[in-house]
Chain A
Amino acid sequence: MDETEARTAVEEAITRVVPGADLTGLEPDAPFRDALELDSLDFLSFVETLSERTGLRIDEEDYPRLTALRDATEFLVARA
């Protein structure tokens, strides 16, 4: 998975959980969970969607790396 694919996967997983989420104004390093108001159930759905879409296993200890767009993208590229 290259960076563009990873980034797309992250963005699609976010918009699946938060339809209509405005990702254009989002800083790559800003915690999107806060900015887009993902509650804990939303965040779990996000992780599950991401895992389903990419076929990657995502564990509890990986969660801190999934809080901002850049981090999450890099995580997927490294894990794939």
Chain B
Amino acid sequence: MRQDVIAKTAPAPVTPVLTDYEKACAEFSWAAARERLAGLPHGGLNIGYEAVDRHVAEGRGDRVALRCVRRDGTAESVSYTALARLTNRFAQVLRSLGVDRGDRVFTLLGRCPELFTAVLGTFKNASVLCPLFPAFGPDPVAQRMRLGNARVLVTTEQLYVRKVAPVRDGLPELAHVLIVGEHGRDLPGTLSFDALMATADDDFSVARTDPGDVALLHFTSGTTGAPKGAVHVHEAVVAHHVTAAYALDLHPDDVYWCTADPGWVTGMSYGVIAPLTHGVRVVVDEGDFDARRWYGVLARERVTVWYTAPTALRMMMRATPRQGPYDLPRSFDLSALRFVASVGEPLNPEVVLWGRDVLGLPVHDNWWQTETGCIVIANLAACPIKPGSMGRPLPGMVAAVLARAPDGTVWRSPEGRVRTVDEPGQEGELALRPGWPSMFRGYLHAEDRYAACFADGWYLTGDIVRRDADGYFWFVGRGDDVIKSAGHLISPFEVESALLEHPRVAEAGVIGRPDPTAGAIVKAYVSLRPGVDPDDDLLRDLLAFARRKLGPAVAPREIVFDRNLPHTRSGKVMRRLLRARELGLPEGDTSTLETPEPPAP
């Protein structure tokens, strides 16, 4: 285990929110954290109110809420007062369409101001928001909308035509599609977002929501079966708020930029909700990743706190290696920047040190997942960083390492008890004591899968970790077959299912192949139907087929033909064995991977 430490010797430019870790942990209570939020004027708790209206009510309406940077680099500001009006209007639009409490509103949008309007207006109307990732193809989009009972979709013309129109027939519950921006073409079955907003009333009385009312639905991927819709409630905002203060060190005057896509939980919890509850200025960049562009945004917008992802940092590192030359970053004024954090997949120590040397700031890695709803384990502003470690549990969080059984699952006694691993440096599954406000409250329509996440009073994360003698956690790997690529969880099952729809494919096994930039990329092993010859044309056809269906975020980037896919006795493709082959483990050595079974006859 690597034991380099980056000490925090120089005084921070701003006194960190959390200065004494042990004291903060000892004194923390969720009830006290709840007091930091306003609550609805007549009782109840609503994320939309906390993010927007509260600041207007408390006299901060003139402050800039959003700095929207367009693709061409121009930027415009939206004040908290303006955002309150826009979100009121959107809530009115929903109401006028008959969209009610608990109805599901889906967004399929990039990082644009309308996203904020739709998300926060949905909360104000007590409807449930479910964000989708624009890099999903038509299949993942349709499947999630079906599973989530989408009633409304807010998207753009381009995304609608590409991803929704072809599958709309299979979405009978989808009553309204609102098209943001140009709505030039005749698109049957859609409405113009802009036209509806133009005639809606500015006033709206935020619907009363109680802390336990459902607010958000986030889809995530498991090893098998359909995507899982993790349900989150309005009181999640308590956790969003306090963890942004602790783990991102957000102060009221910060200029904050979260680069995560709003289709993922980070882009929602920390791209939209948490920073706005702090009343900070949120930078929203519509453009795609480009190292030069990003340095430009950091410099021009005077970003102070930056929350990004390992894949993005590694791409920036490729543009400017740690050995130099530093011409590119040095040509921008990054003097406002004071805190950099990263999430999504383990951050390799090299990137932490790259940040220190090239940006002048080490990168603070943290850990959480869709189900936790908020940051759980983090390297903190006031504490030493251990490069490569995800840090320590935030105040209010109880984390443990649980012993595993030989089959890799958490060990349980016949009575169902688990065993914590207390000796430092030992591997086990990361488990958390439920009870924090943004803990997911279920998987939609899948109670059994929800129940399977718990054992003996612990929530099982599926991540294998070690904890060192100082209490820092270190990611070791996933306990299952789920692939983490560019910070996103991808279900091998979803990819295999798409490949199997190709008429020439007999079987497919999908794994993550280690990749220096993305962490892992999706790789598929495919066996063909009898009589079909593997050739380059078919390979290209398969890659294109999968990409059309699944979109660039999920589709395999590499496919190899393999006539002898390893099977379990029950006939399932053994992904663990494919991974062993990929990693170059000795042929036949599967003892550490899975109980070896003879291939099916």
Contacts and interface: CB of A to CB of B under 8 A. Distances in A.
B553 A40 contact: no
Interface of A: 15, 18-21, 33, 37-44, 60-61, 63-64
Given A20-B541, A60-B319, A40 B289 contact: yes
19 contacts: A18-B547, A19-B543, A19-B547, A20-B543, A20-B545, A37-B551, A37-B552, A38-B552, A40-B311, A41-B311, A41-B315, A41-B486, A41-B517, A41-B518, A44-B517, A60-B291, A60-B328, A63-B292, A64-B292
B288 A40 contact: yes
B26 to A, nearest CB: 43
Interface string B544-577: 1101100111000100000000000000000000
- Among A20, A39, A41, chain B packs the most CB atoms within 10 A around the CB of A41
Nearest to B517: A41
Contacts of B543: 19-20
Nearest to A37: B552
Interface residues of B, number: 28
Interface in B285-303: 288-292
B341 interface: no
A62 to B, nearest CB: 10
A37 B544 CA distance: 12
A32 B551 CA distance: 16
A20 B315 contact: no
- Among A33, A42, A60, A63, chain B packs the most CB atoms within 10 A around the CB of A60
Given A60-B291, A63-B290, A63-B292, A39 B540 contact: no
Contacts of B311: 40-41
Contacts of B288: 33, 39-40, 43
A40 B517 CA distance: 11
A41 B522 CA distance: 12
B578 interface: no
Interface in B112-146: 135
B540 A19 contact: yes
Closest 4 CB pairs of A and B: A20-B544, A40-B289, A19-B543, A19-B540
A63 B296 CA distance: 14
Given A41-B311, A41-B315, A43-B288, 18 more contacts: A19-B539, A20-B544, A20-B545, A21-B544, A37-B135, A39-B135, A39-B288, A39-B552, A40-B289, A40-B290, A40-B312, A40-B315, A42-B552, A44-B315, A44-B318, A44-B517, A63-B290, A63-B292
A34 to B, nearest CB: 8
Dominant SS among interface residues on chain A: helix
Nearest to B515: A41
Contacts of A40: 288-290, 311-312, 315
A41 to B, nearest CB: 6
A35 B319 CA distance: 25
A43 B291 CA distance: 12
A58 B319 CA distance: 11
B552 A60 contact: no
Nearest to A22: B544
A15 B536 CA distance: 13
Contacts of B551: 37
A20 B540 contact: yes
Interface string B262-291: 000000000000000000000000001111
A44 B135 CA distance: 16
Nearest to B485: A41
Contacts of A64: 290, 292
Contacts of B547: 18-20
B487 to A, nearest CB: 11
B548 A20 contact: yes
A19 B517 contact: no
B115 to A, nearest CB: 17
Nearest to A38: B552
Contacts of B289: 40, 43
Contacts of B486: 39, 41
Contacts of B135: 37, 39
